[in-house]
Structure 1
């Protein structure tokens, strides 16, 4: 499974014109396809489907699960999805490449479930100098690695970066083929299976750096606000259902994630699901990491400076809080 790629921009833009007819047809019909992939903050969509919460809110949703997160990004950018669960980072990358997207919901912040895990003898990020480090190139865990190196006074040139798919990177680390690895839950569980290994940096160290959101095709938001509202309402209904039925919810989400209920529970602290009040605060303009517009500017600067995108994405109209405001 892949999650959280930052490299979509140019590739996604190349397909936009070719797929515009499909996107227009989808908007005209009002049909709604929602994509998600492997991340604890997005598995609640599976609960929503299995417990009939979309139907309760009178919205017909085709839920599409992607083993490859990158494929879900491409699907939204090319008009093959109405909306997708993706990081703010990846939305910015897509928008930079020409995709027209609107963020209507903040699902969660990563608060520890993205990790840089190192072999025994490596006590801190600075100790990675000269070491072999694996991560999926362009993913948010690559981004986390760069942030951690920067904080330690290093750059990617100070390590031997080994680009591998996330599952392969975790396996290579366990096999002793690399000295450290950047991975996300549930692959953190795999990587920590190496005796004596530990996380030397996590997303908890960079508050607000990795927001996870629901991004719609902008035209669909303009044409079908009632359906968008119903999806956002369903999210908060689902969060309430999970709180009232924790054991059953964990079983549903763990099964979808391919892990045990016990392992899934360990991810709880590392993914902070946002309440309506936290959403509203995040959508407000601000000057610190708790605000989406501040974080978007910071991420955009980082993406350009590291050449992960060629041009800074336009931020005007990217965030639309009216749907969260209208939640009952």
Structure 2
């Protein structure tokens, strides 16, 4: 089977060199994403036709609830999803068979713990009500911050709710602090006097955002996954050349004003092709995953460290 796939890929390359464009590929990829700035380029790819240009038929599915996208991938309702490293490890601990095929970005400030007026540091959260979606990226950020402040989860009153509801509850004054990612941070910060007490900028490289595919798709149809990865980098190149038009598309997709979306830009750092290759090739991603897994076990987010063997698939970024 592998030799047939290699032969098929060679045929594709020959066809591309002969006619200047990839031939259409049979099959459709159901791709999930949520309102995180690092994943909104997928909306640009759809509206500008980059999926079609790369010969891949994509059913792009937007999830209001990020958690629902995780469930959709783990149950096979979608073929690939945009999700964080810690959430991918959580899926692996539950028996999920997935492959990390691309690092979209690292969070450099757009994940935040936001507190009310009078709370200016993480240590001040002791005994306070903190709304967060359990088990997801900003719960992880909260635990990282508490750990650095020599506090534990039990030192705060954790209010479990979905991220959008958590941001709204904080804005309405029902809790003292909230863990949220952009664009939900804009809702939280509408509360007068509020501000972030910590963010992902304080934990560099701790929150990589990924393209994760079902393991059986990466194995049986690597050509489709490759076209998806190619599309991502072509889209980023177009965004760099057309920043104003791109921001309009992404802001509209995220449901925020363009001025608000521009403010998110420093908080998300996109990785280049070369940085992706280095991230995989130097084992930096694998090492980070091991550290994240150990922390998640210690924090009680997962029962035991899962095997990470086979989770990382660098063939697609190396083929760019």
TM-score, scaled to structure 2 = 0.90
Residue 164 in 1 paired to residue 161 in 2? Answer: yes
Contact in 1 for aligned 2:32/2:80 (Cα 8 Å): yes
* Superposed displacement of residue 175, structure 1: 2.0
Specify which of 238, 243, 247 is matched with residue 246 of structure 1: 243
Contact in 2 for aligned 1:111/1:272 (Cα 8 Å): yes
Contact in 1 for aligned 2:143/2:299 (Cα 8 Å): no
Q: What does residue 297 of structure 2 align with?
A: 304
Name segments (4+ residues, structure 1) moved above 2 Å.
none
What SS does the aligned partner of 1:199 have? Answer: strand
* Superposed displacement of residue 84, structure 1: 0.6
Specify which of 136, 152, 174 is matched with residue 177 of structure 1: 174
Q: What does residue 207 of structure 1 align with?
A: 204
Contact in 1 for aligned 2:107/2:200 (Cα 8 Å): yes
Which runs of 5 or more structure 1 residues have no equivalent in the other structure?
A: 1-28
Provide the rounded CA distance (Å) in 2 between the counterparts of 1:79 and 1:186: 27
1:26-41 equivalences under 5 Å are: 30-41=27-38
Provide the rounded CA distance (Å) in 1 between the counterparts of 2:273 and 2:285: 14
* Superposed displacement of residue 169, structure 1: 1.5
Q: Deviations over 1:80-131 (max 9, x none)?
A: 1111111111111111111111111000011100001111111211111121
Provide the rounded CA distance (Å) in 1 between the counterparts of 2:244 and 2:136: 31
Provide the rounded CA distance (Å) in 2 between the counterparts of 1:131 and 1:72: 30
Residue 134 in 1 paired to residue 131 in 2? Answer: yes
Which runs of 5 or more structure 2 residues have no equivalent in the other structure?
A: 1-25
What SS does the aligned partner of 1:150 have? Answer: helix
Specify which of 100, 107, 110 is matched with residue 107 of structure 2: 110
CA RMSD of aligned residues (A): 1.2
Provide the rounded CA distance (Å) in 2 between the counterparts of 1:104 and 1:183: 26
Aligned length: 295
Residue 54 in 1 paired to residue 51 in 2? Answer: yes
Provide the rounded CA distance (Å) in 1 between the counterparts of 2:75 and 2:158: 30
* Superposed displacement of residue 166, structure 1: 1.4
Provide the rounded CA distance (Å) in 2 between the counterparts of 1:285 and 1:218: 22
Contact in 2 for aligned 1:107/1:212 (Cα 8 Å): yes
What SS does the aligned partner of 1:182 have? Answer: strand
What SS does the aligned partner of 1:266 have? Answer: helix
Q: What does residue 324 of structure 1 align with?
A: 317
* Superposed displacement of residue 150, structure 1: 0.5
Q: What does residue 253 of structure 2 align with?
A: 256
Provide the rounded CA distance (Å) in 2 between the counterparts of 1:108 and 1:275: 9
What SS does the aligned partner of 1:272 have? Answer: strand
Contact in 2 for aligned 1:118/1:180 (Cα 8 Å): yes
Specify which of 278, 281, 289 is matched with residue 278 of structure 2: 281
* Superposed displacement of residue 311, structure 1: 2.4
* Superposed displacement of residue 215, structure 1: 0.5
* Superposed displacement of residue 284, structure 1: 2.3
Q: What does residue 263 of structure 2 align with?
A: 266
